[in-house]
Amino acid sequence: MTFAFNAQFRPKAPWFGGDLQTMSAVFSPPRVDLSDTLIEDLHMSTDDGTADVLTGQRVTGQGDKAPVKALSVVLLHGLMGDFDRGYMRLLTRHFVDQGYPVVRMNLRGAGSSRPLCTGNYHAGFTQDLSLMARRLAARPDTGKLAWIGISLSGNMLLKAASEAHFLEAADHSKLVSISAPFDLVATAKRFARPRNVLYSRYLVNKIRKQMPQQPGLAPEQVAHLRRIKTIGEFDENFTAPVNGYASADDYYQQNSARRFVLDAKLPCLVITASDDPWIDVRPYNSVKWAKNPLLTPVICQTGGHVGFHARGHASPIYAQWSQAFLEAV
């Protein structure tokens, strides 16, 4: 596969360094207007006996921006995000303007699916990706599916790329992972560092606000969720036991994409930054990427977490790279 990129891109002022790149994406996301697009609300009933319903939107251009590509781009968000996060709107705008139909999904229990779900997504819950794929494949306007996962969902996609239930669910094209917590143990340790207290507080506050709204929680679960102080505490006392793992460490060990990536059966573009304050780049650097020719790693010197603001580019450079990768022969 031929794909050219410049992993040593020059950052755009004033976003110099990993923290500023990250803050631009997390605390100051771009305002992206989608009012000129055609939006269809999606509701996907699950088939696992829970009666949970996944929600999303199919977004297409109109007039001279009507879809011309026989490929649907599916966008997935990160931890405590939803389909309307700034980076999701940005990628939606980018691909719609290039003639692609875009499907932007809420993971189980996120965004508008929260009141419709008793369950919740996690870093390795790839069964819902297969469900999305089957539902979309049943539509005559879908074509092949290309997937882009941001942060936590990037880990999910890299895990799913080697799993038969996902591979057989639809006609997949390629996958893109951006700023994924590739090694969940290393990510947990990095996130717990004192220098990351601002980021930790940001996510913990979102957990305290969002998670107690989930239907079916016991009063003691709600009370505990409102008291958590760290992501590790959330995973140890909620994510792991609710999903059948012995501990947070067990959950991390079993679901890290690092374990699965060399077995990927689909072309994968894997984008990360050495200065990501959330994600430890060393697990990425330790992978023998050349063992699987389907893998294209882009390990940048800078970019932060889901930042990647490059000089000369109006949008984060991962949007252009993702399009180039999907269109490469």
How does pLDDT run across 157-185, given as a tens digit for each residue?
Answer: 999 999 999 999 999 999 999 999 999 99
What 3-state DSSP class applies to 269? strand
Q: Is residue 61 part of a domain?
A: yes
Q: Is residue 130 part of a domain?
A: yes
Question: Which DSSP string do the residues of 212-225 spell out, in sequence order?
Answer: GGSTT--HHHHHHH
How does pLDDT run across 187-232, given as a tens digit for each residue?
Answer: 999 999 999 999 999 999 999 999 999 898 999 999 989 999 999 9
**CA–CA distance, 157 with 136 (Å, rounded to integer):** 16
**CA–CA distance, 113 with 18 (Å, rounded to integer):** 32
Residues (pLDDT < 50) of the chain are: 1-2
Q: Is residue 127 part of a domain?
A: yes
Q: Is residue 76 part of a domain?
A: yes
Q: Is residue 43 part of a domain?
A: yes
Q: Is residue 265 part of a domain?
A: yes
State the CATH number of the domain containing residue 175: 3.40.50.1820
What per-residue confidence (pLDDT) applies to 2?
47
Residue entry with tokens 């036991």:
241
**CA–CA distance, 52 with 116 (Å, rounded to integer):** 6
Residue type (1 letter), 41: D
Domain that holds residue 160: 18-192+261-327
What per-residue confidence (pLDDT) applies to 25?
85
Q: Is residue 231 part of a domain?
A: no
Residue entry with tokens 């992501």:
231
Q: How many CA atoms lie within 13 A of 101 on its CB side?
A: 20
What six digits make up the tokens of 269?
């573009």
User: pTM of the predicted model, to two decimals?
Assistant: 0.96
Q: Is residue 317 part of a domain?
A: yes
Tally the domains of the chain. Answer: 1
What per-residue confidence (pLDDT) applies to 109?
96
What six digits make up the tokens of 185?
């143990």
CB atoms within 10 A of CB 275: 20
